[in-house]
Structure 1
């Protein structure tokens, strides 16, 4: 079985070396980049299964790197942020990152997050299920594909897991915590509200594709899917 390939992006050589050593022992293959421009060049030239991306980068910052990569790839991205910098976390998730880890972080935690995101991206936990069709939307779990009117809609692994969970329970309200557990497995410490950002991204993609299925907010509880849904107001 081939090892997963990771692109590690950070402007501190000490951190990159530490990550390479630890993740190498965990069985991952790695490449490194120390600035945003180099990261984009390497990513365009090589194939990777996941990117670990620091946001504070020279030349091109991490948010711009994330935004550019999402123009042409749905590769999973885990962002590294300064502790307590919630704005950057939200921006990263809005731009399509799948998860975040705050600095300083433990190597064990980062490795666990990487494995959790890769499971969502590569495993067939949803893949054994048959296709689902509601309104003009069709989900093909075995192929990790979503269609609206037979047109494909590109989703990140986290977005796919969320829409899969909602479609499994049409009309049923799922709480943020339930969605978080389904999206992240047993690695979901602390940031329940990140689900709101992923749901907003999902809504935007579905609306742009012309979906007749809406994701409705249920005040104080969570979300559910409805045909011809127009309950798009955000909740607190």
Structure 2
């Protein structure tokens, strides 16, 4: 199999990058292309993986061998910390599965895998990736992840750091619901939660201060069951009822 790029006439960065030595993964690339998804299909043994391709919204490693020196595994180590990654292992290996999840894999399968199911998984994760960059309205407040900003009006808003933005993306995906620090650590820092690491507490404290200083109508509450949740100021004691995409 050679380096194949499908439907990329107007984009250097694909929606989905498939890295595999197995030519059958063209079936998956064709399925995704039929859905209007831009796909780059690369055999890491034949062609180098360009950095622009690794910026894809989703990366699929097909038939990955449990060998830290193989091309697919090297690519995984380069991208898993910052991109959603689906891995299909060539054979069952519990230690490899644990290692892949620890390093940031979104989901791990073991071959054989149904390409239709894999296509649906890709579509799901792409939707999650895209929804994470859309503006979201919570009560009277708009959170814009792409601009790293949360505001009520042009003159009442705050700028956010990258880590603060990722925390709010996670919380705004489930408004009113408690999100544990272990999940925040995995999503923001791609590493297991360490109770001695105070970074999450510092970031949340900074977000709270920014929301309060700007007089915005949302806040982050601590849950009695652990974790934190994003709530509308007027409904701080209950769940947020009104969440919609901001137009």
- Give the TM-score taking structure 2 as reference length: 0.53
User: CA offsets, 1:11-57, max 9 Å, x none?
Assistant: 122x2322233333333232222227945x32346753321113327
Counterpart residue number, 1:201: 191
- Give the TM-score taking structure 1 as reference length: 0.55
Q: Structure 1 pair 64/108, CA: closer, same or farther in 2 (3 Å)?
A: same
Whether 1:152 aligns to 2:144 is no
Counterpart residue number, 1:23: 32
User: Structure 1 residue 114: deviation in Å?
Assistant: 0.6
Whether 1:12 aligns to 2:22 is yes
Whether 1:53 aligns to 2:43 is no
User: Structure 1 residue 225: deviation in Å?
Assistant: 2.6
Of residues 152, 169, 172 in structure 1, which corresponds to 2:176?
169
Kindly name which structure, 1 or 2, has the bigger radius of gyration based on alpha carbons. Answer: 2
- Gaps in structure 1 of 5+ consecutive residues: 132-138, 175-193, 227-236
Between the aligned partners of 2:224 and 2:95, the Cα distance in structure 1 is: 22
- Gaps in structure 2 of 5+ consecutive residues: 1-9, 151-158, 206-220, 230-247
Between the aligned partners of 2:88 and 2:27, the Cα distance in structure 1 is: 15
Preserved CA contact (<8 Å) 1:50 1:118: yes
Counterpart residue number, 1:93: 101
Between the aligned partners of 1:155 and 1:67, the Cα distance in structure 2 is: 24
Aligned residues: 187
Aligned residue for 1:129, secondary structure, equals strand
Between the aligned partners of 1:78 and 1:215, the Cα distance in structure 2 is: 32
